[in-house]
Amino acid sequence: MSLAAAIATTMTLTLTGCGSGSGSDDVTLKLIAADYGDSRANGSQHYWDELARAFEEKNPGIKVDVEVYSWTDVDKKVEDLVKDGHAPDLAQIGAYADYAAKGQLYSADQLLSIPTQADFTPSLAEAGEYKRVQYGMPFGASTRRLFYNKKLFSQAGITSPPASWDDIAHDAQLLKARGVKMPFALPLGPEETQAETMQWMLSGGGGYTDSIGKYTIDSPENVKAFKWLKEDLVGKGLTGVDPAKLNREDAFAGFVDGEVGMLNGHPALMKQAAAKGIDYGTVELPGAHGKAKATMGVADWMMAFKQGGHRAQVGKFLDFVYSKKNVEKFSGEYGLLPVTSSASQAMLADDKYAKFHGFLKQLAGAEFYPANKTSWPLISKTVKAKMGAAVGPRGNPSGVLTDIQNIADAADNAAE
């Protein structure tokens, strides 16, 4: 049976009354989720299957059917199902604002118990709000730190990690002189340009938006950051390869192969580096004149669609999903940060997670993509298409940032 047909069949099921003979067949919830595994052996399908079975044992009137897709496909899969009139009950994907704006989602307070909703890390709960109502429930979070290869640093005579942009350029020159292939890996290829871009905006004192949510893409701080990258890093051959052609996955692979001196990374890189025996360190992102004003935080989102009408059953399942034990287990298994205060405190108290502590302590003050803006998917796509070339030999950072700002303003005006 095709997925669409299976979901259509699922949607015909109705909740029967208590005490009826159908028992565990009362309701089947459909969840579409993203895959966080780096191999088939540790794919997210295993996590969800185990979690669903444990929930079903405690709640015999509810079944949970989970389909896991790669990050390349999952957002489009949900979009297509919704357009076809077969919205899943739940989706764990990258963006929620479009669905919230169209009135297709339950709000968090319609679903969750008060203790569960109150347990979300406040900065994450706020990032899940559309027009001051929470529709996006955070699921998996990370912050960013600068990773550096201790062996390569030692060989180049560098005794401490960089704390400013000048330090980055100085250390990269020393690494280049020692023959390091990529002194500073700058992944501005199409995979995740919007993330690398935001990190440099923040480290220069800027960002995508201001405190009231207005786009500030062509701010003086952002222009200064990308002019510095073009002239002082890329222009001096300190990135090793053309940033526009380097994706994050390849930059991470270069780091764990010992070919990268330093790069901005998230917690999952620790597991990859340890598996290859790389002796690494992490520090807070360097800024223009010292520590960056903030780190970038990233959260993926759980959302619940109204179409199936299973609000009570979905809420019961989500209370189970967001229990301290389950949040901590998922985070530890996939190298992510917990999205709840209770699981965060448990991780900070456990020496087993000591390497996560630096990332976790930054989460409360992290800045997130403007995912609450319906224009953000378009702006993210535009940044992916343009920012790599902006720091290249013929690039014009100021012109590119202004072009993106104009697109953002037009998109926001059209949405009003």
Confidence (pTM): 0.85
- Give pLDDT, residue 191: 87
Side-chain-side CA neighbours of 336 within 13 Å: the count stands at: 24
Sequential pLDDT tens for the chain (416 residues):
433 333 333 333 333 333 333 344 589 999 999 999 877 778 899 999 999 999 999 999 999 999 999 988 999 999 999 999 999 999 999 889 999 999 999 999 999 999 999 999 999 999 999 999 999 999 999 999 999 999 999 999 999 999 999 999 999 999 999 999 999 999 999 888 999 999 999 999 999 999 889 999 999 999 999 999 999 999 999 999 999 999 999 999 999 999 999 999 999 899 899 999 999 999 999 999 999 989 999 999 999 999 999 999 999 999 999 999 999 999 988 989 999 999 999 999 999 999 999 999 999 889 999 989 999 989 999 999 999 999 999 999 999 999 999 999 999 988 76
Q: What pLDDT score does 416 carry?
A: 64
- The pLDDT score that the predictor gives to residue 1 is 41
| C-alpha distance from residue 330 to each of 11, 31, 127, 195 (Å) | 28, 16, 21, 23
Q: Which has the closest alpha carbon to 76: 91, 65, 58?
A: 91
Comparing CA positions, the residue from 288, 331, 316, 275 lying closest to residue 164 is: 288
Shortest CA distance to 71 belongs to which of 43, 103, 41? 43
Question: What gap in Å lies between CA 191 and CA 20, rounded to an integer?
Answer: 51
Three-state SS for 183? Answer: strand
**In the CATH scheme, what is the code of domain 145-284+373-415?**
3.40.190.10
DSSP 189: S
Q: Which of 42, 112, 82, 101 is nearest to 314 (CA)?
A: 112
- Per-residue confidence (pLDDT) for residue 326, from 0 to 100: 97
What span, in angstroms and rounded, lies between the C-alpha atoms of 33 and 367? 24
Domain residues of the chain, as ranges? 27-141+298-367, 145-284+373-415
Residue 187, SS3 per DSSP? coil
**Do 145-284+373-415 and 27-141+298-367 fall under one CATH topology?**
yes
Specify the 3-state DSSP secondary structure of 386.
helix
Going by C-alpha positions, the residue among 338, 316, 364, 367 that lies closest to residue 139 is 338
**Residue 158 CA to its chain's centroid (Å):** 32
Nearest Cα residue to 195 out of 380, 378, 382: 380
Side-chain half-sphere CA neighbours of 279 within 13 A = 6
Q: Please give the CATH topology (third level) of the domain spanning 27-141+298-367.
A: D-Maltodextrin-Binding Protein; domain 2 (3.40.190)
For residue 404, CA distances in Å to 110, 218, 221, 390, 416 come to: 37, 8, 15, 11, 19
The per-residue DSSP string of 254-310 comes to: HHHTT-EEEEEE-THHHHHHHHTT--EEEEPPEETTEE-S--EEEEEEEEEBSTT--
Question: What pLDDT is stored for residue 38 in this prediction?
Answer: 74
Type of residue numbered 155: Q
- Tokens linked to 372: 């609450």
User: What span, in angstroms and rounded, lies between the C-alpha atoms of 38 and 22?
Assistant: 39
Residue 347, H or E segment: helix 341-348
Sign of CA dihedral 219, 225, 226, 231: positive
DSSP state of 354: G
Tell me which residue of 94, 63, 72, 79 sits closest to 302, measured CA to CA.
94
3-state secondary structure 25-53: HCEEEEEEEECCCCCCCCCHHHHHHHHHH
